[in-house]
Amino acid sequence: MDSPRDERKARIAVERATALAELATTHGCESGAIGDVRWVGDAYVAASDAFDAATTTSDLTSPTGSGRPPPPLARLPTAGVPTGVPTPSGRPGANGVPTYDASSFRAPAFVNAHLSPRRSPCVIRGLMRHQKWSAAETFPDLEWLRSHHGDALVPVEIGVASADGKRAVPRIELTRLATFLNDHFADATTPRDDVAYVSQHSLLHQRPELQRHFAVPEYCVGRLAAANAWIGTAGTITHLHTDAADNILTQVAGIKSVRLYSPDVGEAHLYPERRGGNGAVNAFSPIDPDDANSPELLSRYPKFGEIPEEEIMDVELGPDDSLFIPKGWWHRVVARTPSFSLNFWF
């Protein structure tokens, strides 16, 4: 950047881009807009133009964004539970979720047992292996991701919102995928305090080349409303909510804990709030199940403490596990390790 005028222009462009990213992220979160899907594309094209205008040549050509050599990146965990991974807190669920192996559990059996006439969740193990997704190799390889798609513009949520919506995600940064990876995944052995999440992002539409690394699961029975990427550090939390579409959530790498409640339990015990722009179809709960033993939480939300144990479902999703989350079912998702998930709304 040559002159103070250029600098000012660049600053304004970045501010505009960040505002657009926030807008896009807010809209992107409105997953219930199925049938009236608002892709984030336009906002991103505008944001990307503004961002490019504000970035120096070296930012654009160097995956570190600074001309420095890129740091080595850790590979995301694709097997077992790495040591030191904290176990979930709060009251454990008592109700197991039926679990199947993808090689012997085909779409008709899935439909008959879990989709129609009544919806219920299930875990399907080995989908990526069974469908021979190359994503199983490429997506956890963050150096591959950086070298092929490092210049993609992504919104990064820094920090965690509160369940009651009173504290929004502290910061949303619009940045290059390479910068996000360099800043948060450079050294897996050094624990970092900051939680960072590229959450529910339309990366697969932004970068259609990525689509050849996976297939839409057969359990979506030929329908697809949206597919998203979720790339984050350990500690990301997606608070209790419902979506208006059926969902296959596939864990490509890393481990996530998912708490599930049925729509009936949600209605009776989770104090549903229809906040946000798409309140007609999405519901959120102000409750963080990790606070289940907090007297303050229980005095404010007494019915939460009255959920029968057998109505609480907990699932640990590891690499190559997929979870069917039926529409209207409540779910809360916590990443126990750095993680890469895809989800398919259908």
Ligand X SMILES: O=C(O)CCC(=O)C(=O)O
Q: Where does this chain bind ligand X (CB under 6 A)?
A: 230, 236, 238, 243, 247, 249, 256, 331, 333, 341, 343
Q: Which is nearer to ligand X, 161 or 215 (CB)?
A: 161
Nearest approach, Cβ of residue 28 and ligand X (Å): 12
Q: Which is nearer to ligand X, 14 or 253 (CB)?
A: 253
Q: Which is nearer to ligand X, 54 or 210 (CB)?
A: 210
Beta carbons within 8 Å of 70's beta carbon, 6+ residues apart:
62, 63, 64, 146, 178, 182
Contact 143, 76 (CB under 8 A): no
Q: Pairing mode, if any, of strands 171-176 and 153-158? A: antiparallel
Nearest approach, Cβ of residue 30 and ligand X (Å): 12
Which of 15, 41, 17, 19 lies closest to 28, judged by CA? 41
Q: Pairing mode, if any, of strands 226-232 and 196-201? A: antiparallel
Which value, in Å, is the radius of gyration of the alpha carbons in the chain? 20
Nearest approach, Cβ of residue 343 and ligand X (Å): 4
Helix, strand, coil distribution of the chain in percent, nearest 5: 35, 25, 45
Contact 120, 126 (CB under 8 A): no
Sign, Cα dihedral of 73, 75, 76, 82: negative
Q: Which is nearer to ligand X, 150 or 328 (CB)?
A: 328
Which of 118, 103, 342 lies closest to 224, judged by CA? 342
Residue type, 43: A
Nearest approach, Cβ of residue 297 and ligand X (Å): 22
Q: Which is nearer to ligand X, 160 or 312 (CB)?
A: 160
Nearest approach, Cβ of residue 122 and ligand X (Å): 15
Nearest approach, Cβ of residue 235 and ligand X (Å): 11
Sign, Cα dihedral of 334, 339, 345, 346: negative
Q: Pairing mode, if any, of strands 339-345 and 247-253? A: antiparallel
Helix, strand, or coil (residue 289): helix
Q: Which is nearer to ligand X, 65 or 90 (CB)?
A: 90
Residue 1 DSSP symbol: -
Nearest approach, Cβ of residue 20 and ligand X (Å): 23
Other beta carbons within 10 Å of 256: 24
Q: What are residue 317's phi and psi, to 5 degrees? A: -100, 115
Q: Which is nearer to ligand X, 249 or 283 (CB)?
A: 249
Q: Which is nearer to ligand X, 196 or 333 (CB)?
A: 333
C-alpha to C-alpha distance for 87 and 326, rounded to whole angstroms: 25
Nearest approach, Cβ of residue 183 and ligand X (Å): 19
C-alpha to C-alpha distance for 70 and 88, rounded to whole angstroms: 34
Q: Which is nearer to ligand X, 62 or 257 (CB)?
A: 257
Nearest approach, Cβ of residue 263 and ligand X (Å): 15
